[in-house]
Amino acid sequence: MLCVPPAQGVDVIGPLEAFGIASRMLEQSSGRRGYETELVTNSADLTLPTTSGVSIVAHRHYRQVRGKVDTLLIAGGPGTRNPPDAALLAWLRRKAKQARRVCSVCTGAFLLADAGLLRGKRATTHWRYVESFARNHPDVSWDPNPIWVQDGNIYTSAGISAGMDLSLALIEEDFGSALALDVARHMVIFLRRPGSQAQFSVALAAQAAERRCLQELQVWIAENLAKNLRVETLAKRAAMSGRNFARVFTRELGNTPARYVEQARVEAARTQLESTDDSVDKVARRCGFSSAELLRRCFLRQFKVAPSQYRRHFRAPGTPVISESRAV
């Protein structure tokens, strides 16, 4: 991992902890060798001040790295947005040619773009910086929505905690989904998120409403997904006229009531696909979809993957999957 100070502490420690936990689990369960991780920097004294006020000490200066690197991971933080360091960018280009994969966390993508490694590629970063990154690097196809993006052997991830999502994806790629899920459980990460998931979730949006009646309504929606959740029903629940409710809801949450309900149902279905062996038909009905086909269309729109494919990749190990309908 390369880190240019000042750093975002979680961008550094989060991914490194995930790889470290995976390595310990492999050694304990099978004696297999896991990851050897090394933190390098361009800081002369190897000290990495972070935005939280805590300093981290790197293993060595990046110029001291010898031999090939399997995975080169660029941490995010304010330092990545400093004026480009020509020597560092040249080193990045050389190492990228040798590495099996090159990755970035949050604004670490800026260094990759400065080095020309993202030219003509699709990439993401923290949603807050996509617009400015696009102005500085119009030759990159910046996507503000996904948690992480893979284009060839280059992986870029969104802000802060998304670095851990990317790390889990890399662990799964290297050692399988069972180990990745075990690492996620050990880290008490609530949910392993696929790269296609949007940076803004329905759960986060639910906390954005200022009006108490909308906050309470969102809780009620989550608990009653199988009911008829038309705008008229929701407006009545919020004690508003239909037109005023739709306007207020959209203004406060940045989403129409219908779109919000769809996203809430899809997220609930995703959780059930991971944790139960119920058929997709049954999951669809329980979450308020009239059919498995409707769930499939909504799931594809939100996560860019079909429910059955998602389940194969993200369900808990040992959870049997019973036959599903043709629509999924």
Domains defined along the chain, listed by start: 2-186 (3.40.50.880), 201-328 (1.10.10.60)
Long-range contacts of 285-292 (CB under 8 A, 24+ apart): 285/226, 286/225, 286/226, 287/225, 287/226, 288/225, 288/226, 288/227, 288/229, 288/261, 289/265, 291/327, 292/324, 292/325, 292/327, 292/328
**Which candidate, 207, 205, 218, places its Cα nearest to that of 245?**
218
Q: pLDDT tens, 137-180?
A: 999 999 887 888 999 999 999 988 889 989 999 998 999 888 98
Token pair listed for 140: 């990159």
At 194 the pLDDT is 55
* 242 exposure class (CB count in 10 Å sphere: 0-12, 13-18, 19+): middle
At 326 the pLDDT is 39
Name the phi and psi angles at 121, rounded to 5: -110, 160
Residue 195 pLDDT grade (very low, low, confident, very high; cuts 50, 70, 90): low
At 324 the pLDDT is 41
**63 pLDDT more than 60:** yes
Q: Residue range 224-242: average pLDDT?
A: 94
Let me know: does 290 contact 282? Beta carbons within 8 Å: no
Residue 309 pLDDT grade (very low, low, confident, very high; cuts 50, 70, 90): confident
Run of H or E residues at 275: helix 257-275
At 213 the pLDDT is 87
At 57 the pLDDT is 97
**314 pLDDT more than 80:** no
* 66 exposure class (CB count in 10 Å sphere: 0-12, 13-18, 19+): exposed
Q: pLDDT tens, 122-135?
A: 999 998 898 899 99
Q: Residue range 226-233: average pLDDT?
A: 95
> Cα–Cα distance between 280 and 292 in angstroms, integer?
6
At 327 the pLDDT is 40
Q: pLDDT tens, 80-111?
A: 998 889 999 999 999 999 999 999 999 999 99
Q: Which of 67-81, 196-210, 260-274 has the highest mean pLDDT?
A: 67-81
pTM check: above 0.85: no
Q: Residue range 36-49: average pLDDT?
A: 97
At 147 the pLDDT is 85
Q: Residue range 17-26: average pLDDT?
A: 97
Q: Provide, for the chain, the percentages of residues in helix, strand and coil under a 3-state DSSP scheme, each rounded to the nearest 5.
A: 50, 10, 40
First to last CA, the chain: 40
Which positions ≥6 away from 292 have C-beta within 8 Å?
Answer: 279, 280, 281, 284, 307, 324, 325, 327, 328
> Cα–Cα distance between 156 and 118 in angstroms, integer?
10
Percent of the chain at pLDDT above 90?
Answer: 65
**Which candidate, 128, 98, 135, places its Cα nearest to that of 113?**
135
Token pair listed for 179: 């180990």
> Cα–Cα distance between 35 and 264 in angstroms, integer?
37
> Cα–Cα distance between 321 and 274 in angstroms, integer?
10
DSSP 151-197: ETTEEEE-STTHHHHHHHHHHHHHH-HHHHHHHHHHTT-S-PPPTTS
